[in-house]
């Protein structure tokens, strides 16, 4: 796929991997940056005036439904990169002694926001924009849905059970959508990332990829038509899962 003169919509575009993707792709493409911080989007637009921006809080269940017309106003879209993700809930067993109604409500709200951002919004946004995507695509110039996933979709860790579950669900959503679009000129791709140095992973792990390295690998995978792009250490994880699955799951348990 030639990543030039495309209209590319990127969620979570104001920080981390999303920002690195936005900065690298804006030079030769029309980028539509989606984020929840109006201030960050304004700063992004000041730096790159060609970028179109939209404030959209994907953790809200009604956000995409309320912005349908605004999203459709962008016209034909060649590529959607579903990148936005959050990680709220570490341990379900934390603070078991505090079972107050207020504390429980906070936990339930965090779980809902995590699932909404990481999975439901991906399904909703793809459904909302699919007609625009198909209308812009041809067999000579195919479109793409690119879901930014994690190695945790393949083998979960002890912490962040909800996050791991959303990534595993995204894996199946990607595969199923790929089946549904196999007779359309739209590719459905995903990139399985290892630990990347972002605000989400601050203070955890070592030997992380930089956001720029992750973005480079994602872009190269799109250009090379890699449908399931295992990046960095995830390549080794996939091999271990084939050869010694028990060892791989135990290794990832406390990752």
Domain assignments of the chain as residue spans, ordered by start: 7-253
DSSP state of 209: B
In the sheet with 186-193, reading across from the earlier edge strand, the strands are 52-55, 30-35, 7-11, 79-82, 143-150, 186-193, 228-230
DSSP secondary structure string for all residues of 140-203: SS-EEEEEEEEGGGTS--SS-HHHHHHHHHHHHHHHHHHHHTTTTTEEEEEEEE--B-SGGGTT
Give the active site residues. Answer: 163
| Residue found by looking up tokens 């009604």 in the block | 62
Superfamily of domain covering 7-253: NAD(P)-binding Rossmann-like Domain (3.40.50.720)
Q: In this structure, what is the dihedral angle of CA atoms 248, 236, 177, 58, given to the nearest 10 degrees?
A: 80
Structure confidence at residue 112 (pLDDT): 95
Structure confidence at residue 92 (pLDDT): 81
- Extract the residue ranges of the chain whose pLDDT is less than 50: none
Rounded Cα gap, residues 254 and 236, in angstroms: 17
Rounded Cα gap, residues 230 and 235, in angstroms: 5
Rounded Cα gap, residues 139 and 233, in angstroms: 33
Structure confidence at residue 158 (pLDDT): 92
């Amino acid at each position: 796929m030639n990543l030039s003169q495309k209209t590319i919509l990127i969620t979570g575009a104001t920080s981390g991997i999303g920002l690195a993707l936005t900065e690298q792709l804006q030079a030769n493409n029309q980028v539509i940056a989606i984020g929840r911080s109006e201030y960050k989007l304004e700063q992004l637009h000041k730096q790159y005036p060609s970028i179109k921006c939209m404030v959209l809080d994907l953790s809200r269940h009604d956000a995409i439904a309320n912005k349908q017309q605004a999203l459709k106003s962008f016209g034909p879209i060649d590529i959607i990169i579903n990148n936005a993700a959050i990680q709220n809930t570490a341990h379900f067993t934390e603070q078991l002694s505090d079972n107050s109604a207020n504390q429980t409500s906070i936990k339930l709200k965090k779980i809902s926001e995590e699932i909404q951002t990481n999975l439901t919004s991906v399904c909703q946004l793809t459904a909302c924009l699919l007609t625009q995507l198909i209308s812009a695509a041809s067999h000579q110039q195919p479109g793409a849905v690119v879901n930014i996933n994690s190695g945790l979709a393949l083998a979960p860790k002890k912490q962040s059970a909800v996050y791991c579950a959303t990534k595993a669900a995204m894996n199946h959503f990607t595969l199923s959508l790929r089946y549904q679009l196999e007779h359309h000129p739209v590719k459905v791709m995903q990139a399985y990332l290892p630990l990347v140095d972002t605000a989400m992973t601050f203070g955890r792990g070592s030997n992380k990829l930089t956001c720029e390295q992750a973005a480079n690998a994602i872009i190269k995978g799109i250009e090379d038509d890699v449908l399931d792009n295992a990046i960095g250490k995830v390549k080794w994880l996939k091999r271990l899962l084939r050869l010694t699955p028990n060892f791989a799951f135990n290794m990832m348990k406390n990752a």
